[in-house]
């Protein structure tokens, strides 16, 4: 195998802004210009996806940056076809960098005669010739077990902890981290421990899918700065109702930190009209103009973390070091 002086990154159309941010950070760390591999990823008139790579990738360690966000099927097919193109071009190893892993909410059979779509997607990724997956905040940790190849699942909580400690540095003793449901307690507890603050839970009861009938706050939130933590915000109905419930329970103000801002349908309008002071999301999904212009939505970058993870994978060093506050503080130095 030839001596590879730098990792090679290629991007689909799902989140070019993030991909370009990652290569800028990689360039900074490497002390040399690292650009995206020159390629075209486009559609024929019938919407078939076509990929052509214009650079030699034989024997290279390739990283495909492509979240499988909306439109999920198109972006997933782009990822698979890019992987096939690289495999047939004799790339040595292909890592799929999937900041947002679509279909992750279909991780189990909740009723008879339903699919486990996350497992199907895992099978498709492996069949396409991908050797490794790098993602962030999988909706369910067991999805890592759906793959028969290495999966590195990064966490947003160290970055969120940096942001919270910076935004509320003089009010740390008044912060309470809130899980919007019982299933998210582990995620909320992790952030609460990193910050060193209290934890509360909003227990919700559904009468049917998509509709929350009742919410109850477990824990003392009186006069507290409540920070709701979750992995996905889709239509924002549950999130906004949880914020209202916290205010009714006496919370001084409510903020939310959500990893993946899907924000479909009426989400942005609901968030702007809600009692939440702010919603903080990552750029794992390319933000729309409406998201960028929303008065109370703020975006924290993930490019520094993904760039370091890519370099660690390329160098064969630890990715789990990025779970630590001290490591992330150095990577995000100057931002917080």
Annotated binding site for ATP: 46-48, 105-106
Which position among 8, 119, 204, 241 bears the catalytic label? 204
Length of the chain: 336
Is there a catalytic annotation at residue 204?
yes
Spatial strand order in the sheet of 61-65: 8-11, 61-65, 93-98, 132-136, 151-154
Where do we find the tokens 């942001």?
Answer: 163
Annotated binding site for D-ribose 5-phosphate: 206, 230, 234-238
CA distance 8 to 34: 8
Q: Is 267 exposed, middle or buried (0-12, 13-18, 19+ CB in 10 A)?
A: buried
Give backbone dihedrals phi and psi of 211, rounded to 5 degrees, phi first.
Answer: -125, 125
Contact 130, 295 (CB under 8 A): no
SS3 11: strand
Beta carbons within 8 Å of 234's beta carbon, 6+ residues apart? 262, 263, 264, 265, 267
Annotated binding site for Mg(2+): 139, 181
Where do we find the tokens 């099927």?
Answer: 73
SS3 293: helix
Annotated binding site: 46-48, 105-106, 139, 181, 206, 230, 234-238
The DSSP-derived string for 38-102 is: PEEEEE-TT--EEEEE-S--TT-EEEEE----SSHHHHHHHHHHHHHHHHHTT-SEEEEEESS-T
Structure tokens at 158: 């160290």
Contact 105, 139 (CB under 8 A): yes
Q: Which residues participate in catalysis according to the annotation?
A: 204
């Amino acid at each position: 195998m030839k001596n590879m002086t730098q990792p090679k990154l290629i991007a689909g159309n799902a989140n070019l802004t993030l991909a370009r941010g990652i290569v800028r950070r990689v360039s900074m760390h490497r002390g040399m210009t690292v650009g995206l591999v020159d390629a075209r990823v486009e559609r024929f008139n019938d919407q078939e996806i076509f990929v052509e790579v214009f650079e030699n990738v034989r024997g290279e360690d390739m990283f495909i940056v492509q979240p499988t966000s909306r439109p999920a099927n198109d972006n997933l097919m782009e990822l698979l076809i890019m992987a096939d193109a690289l495999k047939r071009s004799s790339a040595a190893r292909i890592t799929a960098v999937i900041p947002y892993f679509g279909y992750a909410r279909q991780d189990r059979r909740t009723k008879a005669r339903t699919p486990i779509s996350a497992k199907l997607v895992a099978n498709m990724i492996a069949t396409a010739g991908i050797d490794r997956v790098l993602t962030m905040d999988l909706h369910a940790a067991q999805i890592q077990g759906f793959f028969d190849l290495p999966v590195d699942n990064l966490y947003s909580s160290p970055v969120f902890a940096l942001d919270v400690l910076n935004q509320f540095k003089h009010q740390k003793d008044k912060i309470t981290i809130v899980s919007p449901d019982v299933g998210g307690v582990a995620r909320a507890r992790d952030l609460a421990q990193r910050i060193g603050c209290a934890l509360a839970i909003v227990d919700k009861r559904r009468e049917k899918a998509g509709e929350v009938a009742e919410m109850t706050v477990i824990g003392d939130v009186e006069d507290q700065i409540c920070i709701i933590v979750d992995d996905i915000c889709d239509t924002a109905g549950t999130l906004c109702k949880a914020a209202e419930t916290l205010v009714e329970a006496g919370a001084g103000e409510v903020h939310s930190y959500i990893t993946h801002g899907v924000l479909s349908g009426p989400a942005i309008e609901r968030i702007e009209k809600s009692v939440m002071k702010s919603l903080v999301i990552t750029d794992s999904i390319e933000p729309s103009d409406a998201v960028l212009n929303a008065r109370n939505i703020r975006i924290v970058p993930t490019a520094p973390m993904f760039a370091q993870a890519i370099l660690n994978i390329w160098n064969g060093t630890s990715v789990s070091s990025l779970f630590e506050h001290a490591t992330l503080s150095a990577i995000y130095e100057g931002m917080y």
